[in-house]
Amino acid sequence: MQINFAGTNLSIMNEYDVKKIRADFPVLEQKVYNKPLIYLDNAATTQKPIQVIEVVNRYHSKLNSNIHRGVHFLSDQTTNAYENARETVCKFINASKKEEIIFTSGSTGSINLLAFSFGEQFIRKNDEILITEMEHHANIVPWQMLCERKNAKLKVIPFHDDGVLDIERYKKLFTDKTKIVSLIYISNTLGSINPIKEMIRIAHDRNVPVMIDAAQSVQHIKIDVHQLDCDFLVFSGHKIYGPTGIGVFYGKEKWLDKLPPYQGGGDMVDIVTFEKTTYNELPFKFEAGTTNYIGAIGMAAALEYISGIGLKKITAYETELLEYATKTIDDLGGVTIYGRSPHKASILSFLINGVHMLDSGMIFDKMGVAVRIGTHCAQPVMQHFHIDGTLRASISLYNTKEEIDYLCKAIEQVKTMFA
């Protein structure tokens, strides 16, 4: 398969050393049920390269000390590494300054932070919040909870059956009560890459700020918050080859300055008396208590790892694998793919016709193929298609054509067994 990469028509397969990349991921070497592991559950979580594992091990075994609070050697080392990690994130997404980068527990933690703080400051009775029909529950429920607290309204931008958002409908959903738009960039279920730059412009024309859920984006395509002009953006460390329990909440400084703190505790304060507490400056105002500082350092190592390969190359390689997988599965027949957007990341949701996803998933598992089954925390997407769930194969930078062939073999096996 040939795709246009960097102005050429050469296949990326020729210049992308997937063998070398795979050697960085110890998990991939193992067998399950005596079969080579085919890990295609990357949208749920990605595996970790040795470069990340080693950094996390080094900090746990040699350098651990709580940050920002000590004057001793270890604390100084860890604090510096933590603040350097913030700088790494800042550069990775091209934020204006590192004060705009807040470390959280993950995308879910970040969206809850925003829904609470923004809600406290800006949402009143009858105000409206826009999200899409393809959101992950993490970008639905915190806004719903806010709407319940404030008697506000959640409005939903629908998608067409191919997984493309209805932009005309989006434009019509705005009223003078619309206070924020919160959008998934790449759907964790349909793989659709949404036209968020255009959607942000449409919202800004109406003076409405936009939050981007980039949980499934930072690992696949280059994110530039400056160029996108989003007001807020979130992602999780564990989905970009970093540790679990760490994530990012980015906000433009002009917004973060206006938002009240989300949680109270150590480190987020300036002066505490029983009568009144004043708060620390950005970014610490939003980082109450001991953060997952080793997680942040590990996540920075993951971002450096990705940068070392190059996101352009990763996007091209994964796109080529997605195109190969889609064509091969279509050629097999008897499989329904959900999500046919022309702009798609390497996430494939499907059902083998006439076979329950659980049965398919169990056969896949016994063949060593790890995919996810269920609603993928996006029940409204399943409601759209009137189905209980799908199988989801999510492809990442270390997957191969041979693994896609093996996935197809597993599909054929299911079809044979249920014929």
List all residues 6 or more positions away from 36 whose beta carbon is below 8 Å from its beta carbon.
368
Give the residue with the Cβ less far from ligand PMP, 56 or 414: 56
Q: CA nearest 296: which of 90, 22, 21, 20?
A: 90
Give the residue with the Cβ less far from ligand PMP, 183 or 410: 183
CB 210 within 8 A of CB 339: no
CB 270 within 8 A of CB 278: yes
- Cα 401 to the center of its chain, rounded Å: 24
CB 213 within 8 A of CB 184: yes
Write down the least CB distance from residue 236 to ligand PMP, Å. 3
* Pairing, β 372-374 against β 390-394: antiparallel
Considering only 107, 192, 319, 360, the residue that binds ligand PMP (CB under 6 A) is: 107
Write down the least CB distance from residue 230 to ligand PMP, Å. 15
C-alpha torsion angle, residues 114, 120, 124, 126 (rounded to 10): 40
The residues in 215-274 that bind ligand PMP, with binding defined as CB under 6 A, are 215-216, 236
The residues in 269-328 that bind ligand PMP, with binding defined as CB under 6 A, are none
- Cα 79 to the center of its chain, rounded Å: 26
Considering only 24, 39, 106, 355, the residue that binds ligand PMP (CB under 6 A) is: 106
Give the residue with the Cβ less far from ligand PMP, 319 or 375: 375
Give the residue with the Cβ less far from ligand PMP, 243 or 283: 243
The answer to the question of residue 382 lying near ligand PMP (CB under 6 A) is no
Write down the least CB distance from residue 339 to ligand PMP, Å. 13
Going 92 to 93 to 94 to 97, the CA torsion angle's sign is negative
* Number of residues located near ligand PMP, criterion CB under 6 A: 13
The answer to the question of residue 346 lying near ligand PMP (CB under 6 A) is no
Stretch that binds ligand PMP, among 11-19, 101-109, 143-151, 252-260 (CB under 6 A): 101-109
Stretch that binds ligand PMP, among 27-35, 209-217, 275-283, 363-371 (CB under 6 A): 209-217
Stretch that binds ligand PMP, among 7-15, 56-64, 104-112, 353-361 (CB under 6 A): 104-112
Compute φ and ψ for 260, nearest 5 degrees.
-75, 160
Give the residue with the Cβ less far from ligand PMP, 107 or 291: 107
CB 132 within 8 A of CB 194: yes
Tokens of 173: 């959903």
**CA Rg value for the chain:** 22
Considering only 182, 188, 292, 326, the residue that binds ligand PMP (CB under 6 A) is: 188
Q: Which residues are catalytic?
A: 377
Write down the least CB distance from residue 130 to ligand PMP, Å. 16
127 to 146: interface string for ligand PMP, x by CB under 6 A? ---------x-xx-------
CB 396 within 8 A of CB 346: yes
Q: CA nearest 20: which of 309, 272, 233?
A: 309
CB 336 within 8 A of CB 351: yes
The answer to the question of residue 213 lying near ligand PMP (CB under 6 A) is yes
**Binding-site ranges for ligand PMP (CB under 6 A):** 106-108, 136, 138-139, 184, 188, 213, 215-216, 236, 377
